[in-house]
Amino acid sequence: MQTKLAVPIAAPNLDKARQQIEAAIAAGAEMLELRTDYLENLSVELVKSVIAEAKATNLPAIVTCRDKQQGGAIGYPAQLRTDVLAAALKAGAEFIDFEYENFLSTDNQERIKLALSECSKGRLILSAHNFKTKFDDISQLYRDILTVYPAAIPKLVYTANHINDCFEAFDLLHQTSGEQIVFCMGAAGLVSRIIAKKLGSFVTFASIDEKTATAPGQLAVEQLKNLYRYDCINADTQLYGIIGSPVGHSAGPAVHNACFAEIKANKLYLPLLVEGGQAEFDQFLNNILSREWLGFAGFSVTIPHKANALEYTKAKFGFIEPLAEKIGAANTLTIDEPRATSHERRISAYNTDYAGALDAITSTLEISRADLNNLPVAVIGAGGVARAIVAGLSDAGAKIKIYNRTVKKGKKLAAEFNCDFASLSELPDVEAKLLINCTSIGMHPNTDETPFPQECLKADMAVFDTVYNPAETLLLKQASQAGAKTINGVDMFINQATAQFKLFTGQDAKPELMRKAICNCII
Ligand code: NAP
Instruction: Find, among 492, 502, 505, 459, the residue nearest to 478 by Cα.
Output: 459
34: three-class secondary structure by DSSP: strand
DSSP 8-state class, residue 383? S
Closest C-alpha to ligand 1, atom 39: 493
Q: What is the pLDDT of residue 340?
A: 60
Tell me the CA–centroid distance for residue 359 and ligand 1, in Å: 20
| pLDDT at position 479 | 98
CA of 440 to the centre of ligand 1 (A): 4
pLDDT number for residue 248: 85
Q: Per residue in 238-293, pLDDT tens?
A: 999 999 999 988 899 999 999 999 999 999 999 999 999 999 999 999 999 999 99
Answer yes or no: is the C-beta of 447 below 6 A from any ligand 1 atom.
no
Give yes or no for residue 386 CB within 6 A of ligand 1: yes
For the Cβ of 496 lying below 6 angstroms from any atom of ligand 1, the answer is: yes
Provide the pLDDT for residue 178: 87
> Is the CB–ligand 1 distance for residue 443 below 6 Å?
yes
Locate the ligand 1 atom nearest the alpha carbon of residue 467 and give its number.
34
Residue with the smallest CA separation from ligand 1 atom 12 is 439
Give the torsion sign (CA, 5, 10, 16, 17): positive
- Tally of helices (H runs) and strands (E runs) in the chain: 19, 20
C-beta 389 within 6 A of ligand 1: no
CA of 383 to the centre of ligand 1 (A): 6
| Gap between the Cα atoms of 297 and 354, Å rounded | 22
Region for 200 from its dihedrals, namely left if φ exceeds 0, alpha if ψ lies in -120 to 50, beta otherwise: left
Residue of 310, 359, 438, 487 with the most ligand 1 atoms within 8 Å of its CB, for mutation: 438
CA of 247 to the centre of ligand 1 (A): 14
β-bridge mates for residue 273, sequence order: 244
- pTM of structure: 0.94
Contacts of 309 (CB under 8 A, 6+ apart): 243, 281, 299, 301, 329, 330, 331, 333, 349
- The CB of 439 under 6 Å from ligand 1? The reply is yes
123-130/95-99 β-pairing: parallel
CA of 46: how far to CAs of 17, 324, 339, in Å? 11, 63, 60
Name the burial class of residue 327, with classes exposed (0-12), middle (13-18) and buried (19+) by CB atoms within 10 angstroms of its CB.
buried
Note whether 219 and 185 are within 8 A (CB): no
* Rounded distance between C-alpha atoms, residue 34 and residue 213, angstroms: 13
Q: Is the Cβ atom of 438 under 6 angstroms away from ligand 1?
A: yes
* Residues of the chain predicted below pLDDT 50: none
Residue of 256, 385, 411, 514 to mutate, ligand 1, most atoms within 8 A of C-beta:
385
| CB-ligand 1 contact for 444 (6 Å cutoff) | no
Half-sphere exposure of 282 (CA within 13 A, CB side): 12
Q: Which residues are catalytic?
A: 129, 155, 306, 353
Rg (CA), the chain: 27
User: Does the C-beta of 34 come closer than 6 Å to ligand 1?
Assistant: no
* 381 within ligand 1 shell (Cβ under 6 A): yes
CA 460 vs. chain centroid, Å, equals 41
In the chain the first and final C-alpha atoms are separated, in Å, by 40
> Cα(287) to centroid of ligand 1, in Å?
28
Give the per-residue pLDDT at 494. 96
Query: What is the whole-number distance in angstroms between the Cα of residue 232 and the centre of ligand 1?
Result: 35
184 Cα to the center of ligand 1, angstroms: 31
65, HSE (Cβ side, Cα atoms, 13 Å) = 27
Checking DSSP bridges between strand 332-335 and strand 347-350, what pairing results, if any? Answer: antiparallel
At residue 217, the pLDDT reads: 82
Identity (one letter) of the amino acid at 98?
A: F
| pLDDT recorded at residue 86 | 96
Report the pLDDT value the prediction gives residue 120, as an integer from 0 to 100.
83
Which one of 300, 302, 353, 405 would you pick to mutate in the ligand 1 pocket, going by the greatest count of ligand atoms within 8 A of its CB? 405
